[in-house]
Amino acid sequence: MSQYSHVTAPTQYVAAGGIRFAYRSFGPESGTPLIFLQHFRGGMDHWDPLVTDGLAANRPVILFDNAGVAGSSGETPDTLEALADHAAEFVRALGLPLVDVLGLSIGGGVAQALALRHPALVRRLVIVGAKPRAGEDEGTHPDIIEVATRHEVPTLEDFLYLFFGPSPAGQAAGRAFWERRHQRVVDVDPPTSQQTMKAQLAAIVEWNQQRGERYAELGRITQPALVVNGSRDIMAPTVNSYIMAQHLPNAELIVYPDSGHGSLFQYPELFVHHVDRFLGTDVAFT
């Protein structure tokens, strides 16, 4: 078992495809590693320690900054497919033959692209608060881009608005998450750059464009998938999670009540329980 945790794991680096990737790993030394793919403008320090440490109790956990993000070198590309290719390069550079993948928001799109483009690398998928390509926009709040980009470094108020429901319970959960995610005070990630923000915005726009028959590519993702969302996601409307669960051949859907885009941060212990059950079983869903 690794001596490290979310707060104490040192930042390490590995070079692949001309990029120097920053990453942190902790948890057991054996088992299928779980790779975390982060949300818009997010780096390693934006994950919830209750989630990462909870999942690291039973498997190796690897957090990393994709190309150009925070502590990694290079420029962030403007398509989710290119980000998926970089993620595959990172995984191979670590010498990992097979991984599980947890993607949040645009990370959930990258996870889908990774499974499509590099299927031999991916055992199971956890897709949280995400959309399929050309997903449904109805229910998206018109202010999300302005709120998500208005500050050089996103603030507590930005996260409370975008990731958590407006109820007192949702807002309290958001403040508790904010305290947890700032527990790490040394060896922290630098903020993501303006280049990353603009490239990720372009990638989101491109991901919204339909290619061929709508949702057909979901049918080609054969790995078992756990699709998760909150009941009121104003960034990736919750209906998209239902769409993915309907079109992925081997999927299970969980929708948490009174929550939004950051449902895994509002219900961290429950989320860990559900993901542990999903990743721990060897029987595919039918």
- Predicted structure pTM score: 0.95
Specify the pLDDT at position 55: 98
Q: How confident is the model at residue 166 (pLDDT cuts 50, 70, 90)?
A: very high
User: Does residue 60 form part of some domain?
Assistant: yes
Hey, is 207 helix, strand or coil? helix
What pLDDT, in 10s, does the model give residues 104-131?
A: 999 999 999 999 999 999 999 999 999 9
What is the average per-residue pLDDT within 230-258?
Answer: 98
pLDDT at 64: 98
Assess contact for 76 and 67: CB atoms under 8 A: yes
Question: CA end-to-end span of the chain, whole Å?
Answer: 33
Q: Classify residue 176: in a domain, yes or no.
A: yes
Whether residue 285 is predicted with pLDDT greater than 80 in this model: the reply is no
C-alpha 97/C-alpha 25 separation (Å) is 16
Specify if 3 maps to a domain.
Answer: no
Q: Does residue 64 belong to any structural domain of this protein? A: yes
How sure is the predictor about 2, in pLDDT bands with cuts at 50, 70 and 90?
Answer: confident
Tokens at 49, concatenated: 């320690």
Instruction: State the average pLDDT over residues 242-260.
Output: 98
pLDDT tens per residue across span 59-91: 999 999 999 999 999 999 999 999 999 999 999
**What are the beta bridge partners of residue 228?**
128, 254
Query: Is residue 127 domain-resident?
Result: yes
Q: Does 284 have pLDDT greater than 70? A: no
Does residue 1 surpass a pLDDT of 70? Answer: no
Could you list the residue range(s) of the whole structural domain that residue 134 is in? 12-280
Average pLDDT taken over every residue of the chain: 96
Within 8 A by CB and 6+ apart from 250, the residues are 222, 223, 224, 225, 284, 285, 286
Q: What is the mean pLDDT of residues 148-153?
A: 95
Q: How confident is the model at residue 286 (pLDDT cuts 50, 70, 90)?
A: very low
Residue 129 counted as domain residue: yes
Model confidence over 29-63: pLDDT tens digits?
A: 999 999 999 999 999 999 999 999 999 999 999 99
Total domains, the chain: 1
Distance CA 236, CA 138 (A): 9
Residue 285 lies in a domain: no
Query: Is residue 6 domain-resident?
Result: no
Q: How many other C-beta atoms can be found within 10 angstroms of the C-beta atom of residue 70?
A: 23
Write out pLDDT tens, residues 167-226. 999 999 999 999 999 999 999 999 999 999 999 999 999 999 999 999 999 999 999 999
Residue 282 pLDDT exceeds 50: no
pLDDT at 281 over 60: no
CATH of the domain at 150: 3.40.50.1820
